[in-house]
Amino acid sequence: MKVKVGVVGLGFMGSAHARVYKKLKDCDLVAICDSDPTKQQLAEAYGCRFCVDFEAFLEADLDAVSVCTPTAMHKDFVMSALERGKHVLVEKPFADSLKSGEAMAKKAVSVDKLLAVGYIERFNSAVRRLKGVVDFSQIYSTVSMRFGPFPPRTKYSGVFLDLASHEIDILNYLTGVQPNVLYAHFSSNSDNGFEDYAYISLKYGHIHSHIEASWLPNYKLRLINLYGNERFYSLDYAQQKLRAHRAPPKANIENGSWDDILWLSRHVEEEFAVSVSEPLVMELQCFLDSVKKNEVLDPLCTPKEALKVLKVTDCAFSTAKVQNNCDSA
């Protein structure tokens, strides 16, 4: 059975959704929708219908819809698609507020349609490998860094929702724990009204996690380090690489030998075999499989899981506000 799919919002991610859907064998890309009429060239390239009007788009024979509009518009498009009997995959972040996210989750249940959220790093091959090899009871700390130039596309949210939410979702997914927010800081060097630097400290049970996200650098980093007593792990999301590091056989440093001291810093490194693949292909295939089976399949993010991310972001912004008020007092 081919799943008949449409895409609304043809920016960077929406265009990528259309490209991937077109090449998946069990998918029929029926229609795409955007308010920009120049996007019709994509419809011509993929041999599908193009709509400027969303209502006309929903009149097409669709089983499912990818919503890739700006975050502030997610709720309206998702609610309408669900009401018209379509299964929905909405790009991350789920919503611009916890209230909007809860409304969408409730609507999906009431109309008995699937709703999934596109946290793409769940489908990163290195993350899948990490989940299989790491014993999180032996991890005591994690450090995540997501840096990159300010995106050229119009922004409707800051760097925290855009980048740091990936790390919160991944840590939630890997640990199975809802974290406590210990500290949060946000700052902005731009005039768009949103933060372009964010730092948050979280507690996942016995694990202390640090997340730093920024649009200030002109380079791109997508990294997470996980530290344990016996070894630490380094994961590069962009390169889909996973390495483990451990100390060399113990040296005798009681005699103060410089060579022995250096020896202890020469970590034994192990690189895990990772089958590199495009995460979006894996994610959209999982969404199609979910539609066929009428259930959100792992590792696709459910509304319940996405709401947990929004709860952390709400708490982080509240925590940062209180701290800023204390600093100015």
What one-letter code names the amino acid at 29? L
Same domain, 116 and 182: no
pLDDT score, position 240: 97
pLDDT band at 70 (very low <50, low <70, confident <90, very high): very high
Same domain, 289 and 252: no
Same domain, 249 and 150: yes
Local structure of residue 149 (DSSP, 8 states) = P
Instruction: Please check whether residue 24 lies inside any domain of the structure.
Output: yes
Task: Let me know the angle formed at the C-alpha of 99 by 97 and 101, rounded to the nearest 5 degrees.
Answer: 75
Judge if the upstream peptide bond of residue 249 is cis by omega within 30 degrees of 0.
no
Q: How far apart are CA 43 and CA 49, in angstroms?
A: 6
Local structure of residue 273 (DSSP, 8 states) = P
CB under 8 Å to 12, separation ≥6 — which residues? 151, 153
pLDDT score, position 326: 46
Q: How far apart are CA 31 and CA 253, in angstroms?
A: 68
What count of other Cβ atoms lies within 10 Å of the Cβ of residue 132? 8
CA neighbor of 74 nearest in space, from 124, 133, 8: 8
Joined tokens for residue 128: 């899948």
Same domain, 90 and 216: no
Same domain, 127 and 234: yes
pLDDT band at 265 (very low <50, low <70, confident <90, very high): confident
Is 50 exceeded by the pLDDT of residue 152? yes
Residue with tokens 């700390």: 141
Same domain, 58 and 200: no
pLDDT score, position 324: 58
Same domain, 72 and 138: no
pLDDT band at 268 (very low <50, low <70, confident <90, very high): confident
CA neighbor of 10 nearest in space, from 21, 18, 1: 18
Q: How far apart are CA 263 and CA 214, in angstroms?
A: 35
Q: How far apart are CA 289 and CA 294, in angstroms?
A: 8
CB under 8 Å to 204, separation ≥6 — which residues? 171, 175, 177, 179
Instruction: Please check whether residue 328 lies inside any domain of the structure.
Output: no
pLDDT digits (tens, 9 = 90+) for 4-22: 999 999 999 999 999 999 9
* pLDDT mean across residues, the chain: 92
Residue with tokens 């990490």: 130
CA neighbor of 213 nearest in space, from 184, 182, 175: 184
Q: Which helix (H) or strand (E) holds 57?
A: helix 54-58
According to DSSP, the residues that pair with 204 across neighbouring strands are 207
Instruction: Please check whether residue 271 lies inside any domain of the structure.
Output: yes
In the chain, the number of structural domains is: 2
Joined tokens for residue 306: 């996405």
Count of residues in the chain:
329
Compute CA 161 distance to the chain's CA centroid, rounded to the nearest angstrom.
Answer: 9
Q: 0.75 exceeded by the pTM?
A: yes
pLDDT band at 248 (very low <50, low <70, confident <90, very high): confident
Instruction: Please check whether residue 36 lies inside any domain of the structure.
Output: yes
pLDDT score, position 329: 43
pLDDT score, position 267: 79
- Across the range 74-86, mean pLDDT stands at 97
Is 70 exceeded by the pLDDT of residue 94? yes
pLDDT digits (tens, 9 = 90+) for 118-132: 999 999 999 999 999
Is 90 exceeded by the pLDDT of residue 313? yes
pLDDT score, position 178: 95
pLDDT band at 286 (very low <50, low <70, confident <90, very high): very high
pLDDT score, position 327: 55
Instruction: Please check whether residue 307 lies inside any domain of the structure.
Output: no
pLDDT score, position 192: 67
Local structure of residue 119 (DSSP, 8 states) = -
Instruction: Please check whether residue 329 lies inside any domain of the structure.
Output: no
pLDDT score, position 151: 77
**Higher-confidence residue: 193 or 61?**
61
The domain of 192 spans 122-278+312-322
pLDDT digits (tens, 9 = 90+) for 230-247: 899 999 999 999 999 987
Same domain, 172 and 289: no
Same domain, 99 and 196: no
Task: Let me know the angle formed at the C-alpha of 157 by 16 and 100, rounded to the nearest 5 degrees.
Answer: 90
Instruction: Please check whether residue 327 lies inside any domain of the structure.
Output: no
Q: Which helix (H) or strand (E) holds 315?
A: helix 303-328
pLDDT digits (tens, 9 = 90+) for 27-58: 999 999 999 999 999 999 999 999 999 999 99
Is 80 exceeded by the pLDDT of residue 101? yes
CA dihedral 294, 298, 302, 307 (to 10 degrees): 170
Residue with tokens 């709720």: 75
pLDDT digits (tens, 9 = 90+) for 184-197: 999 988 776 789 99
Same domain, 98 and 138: no
pLDDT score, position 155: 65
Same domain, 293 and 189: no
pLDDT score, position 126: 98
- Is the CB of residue 215 less than 8 Å from the CB of residue 223? no
Instruction: Please check whether residue 191 lies inside any domain of the structure.
Output: yes
CATH of the domain at 82: 3.40.50.720
CATH of the domain at 222: 3.30.360.10
Is 70 exceeded by the pLDDT of residue 153? no
Q: Which helix (H) or strand (E) holds 270?
A: strand 268-271
Task: Characterize the bridge pairing of strands 231-236 and 241-246.
Answer: antiparallel
Same domain, 158 and 269: yes
